[in-house]
Amino acid sequence: MKKDVQVKKGAQGKKPVQNKKAVFLGSAVVLLAVFVFGAFLYTSEKLDKSAKAAERNLALLLREHAPKLGPADAKVQLVEFFDPACGTCREFSPFVKDLMKSNSGKMRLSLRYAPFHRGSDNVVKILEAARKQDKFWETLDAVFASQPRWAPNHKAEVELLWPHLGNLGLDLERIKRDMYAPEIEQVIAQDLADAKALNVTMTPEFFVNGRPLPSFGYEQLRNLVNDAVAKAYP
């Protein structure tokens, strides 16, 4: 017989409701504050740690074997860990090129492989084999341009990629022979090991003179590069 318990406006005095609202809002604010403060603490500590680690590990970043662009005596070293099947890496590619152009002579780009997508290690092998024919950068452009066609559902399918490499003057038969060379296997293993040591879990990941991005984004990368250029070339 006491079914109609809900919402009896008269039964609840004005005061307790006010108190309840205060308790509710107060706890919401406290919860959010803890979250924001925790996030702030965590990211600043992580940034601190990774900046220190990256500077200590400059040797891990600048490997002899990595494909490079820009003069060897450039004072700003940009290292990018990338995955040929990663959509964001594709989006960043023209942006990085622009950065290189507007700071030409002052920057050197090293590309490191982080083939996290399934099957994309095979694409890396093709890139490395194309490098033996001095066509690395053209092939990389073609790989990125056709990425939606050969990487459906985030899985790299080499068979779908071959048709898009036809116009580059590559000796495809030679690539198919070269791509399984043990030294290419070693390059991938080394890059993946370095990525792990540097805590690279997502692509693309950038390091400017050893410093990682404070947070991910175009602007953050541009700022980091501009700061490093301003410091190195006053």
Partner 1 sequence: MSTSEPTEQDHSLESAWTLVFLAWLIASASTLGALFLSQVMGVVPCVLCWYQRIFMFPLVLILAAGLFPFDARIVRYALPLTVVGWMITFFHVLVAAGVVPEAVTPCAQGIPCKEQAIEWFGFLTIPWLSLIAFSLIGLLLILTHFKVSR
Binding interface with partner 1 (CB under 8 A): 2, 5-7, 9-13, 16-17, 20-21, 23-24, 27-28, 31-32, 34-35, 38-39, 42-43, 201-202
Query: Among residues 153 and 167, whose Cβ is nearest to partner 1?
Result: 153
Helix (H/G/I), strand (E/B), else coil: 93: helix
Place of tokens 């700061």: 227
d(Cα 24, Cα 26) in Å, to the nearest integer?
A: 5
- Tell me whether residue 194 is exposed, middle or buried, using C-beta atoms within 10 angstroms of its C-beta: 0 to 12, 13 to 18, 19 or more: buried
| Cis ω before 204 (30° cut-off from 0) | yes
- Closest approach of partner 1 to the CB of residue 118, in Å: 8
- Closest approach of partner 1 to the CB of residue 45, in Å: 11
d(Cα 173, Cα 169) in Å, to the nearest integer?
A: 12
In sequence order, the β-bridge partners of residue 82 are: 113
Give the E-state strand segments of the chain in sequence order: 68-69, 76-82, 107-113, 205-208, 211-212
- Closest approach of partner 1 to the CB of residue 155, in Å: 10
In sequence order, the β-bridge partners of residue 205 are: 81
- Closest approach of partner 1 to the CB of residue 39, in Å: 4
Using alpha carbons, list the distances in angstroms from residue 144 to 82, 88, 130, 158: 11, 10, 15, 13
Query: Among residues 23 and 160, whose Cβ is nearest to partner 1?
Result: 23
Query: Among residues 5 and 72, whose Cβ is nearest to partner 1?
Result: 5
Query: Among residues 144 and 206, whose Cβ is nearest to partner 1?
Result: 206
- Closest approach of partner 1 to the CB of residue 56, in Å: 21
- Closest approach of partner 1 to the CB of residue 95, in Å: 22
Query: Among residues 38 and 71, whose Cβ is nearest to partner 1?
Result: 38
Each as own residue / partner, the long-range contacts of residues 222-228 (CB below 8 Å, 24 or more positions apart, any chain) are 222/99, 225/76, 225/78, 225/99, 225/103, 225/107, 228/76
Query: Among residues 104 and 201, whose Cβ is nearest to partner 1?
Result: 201
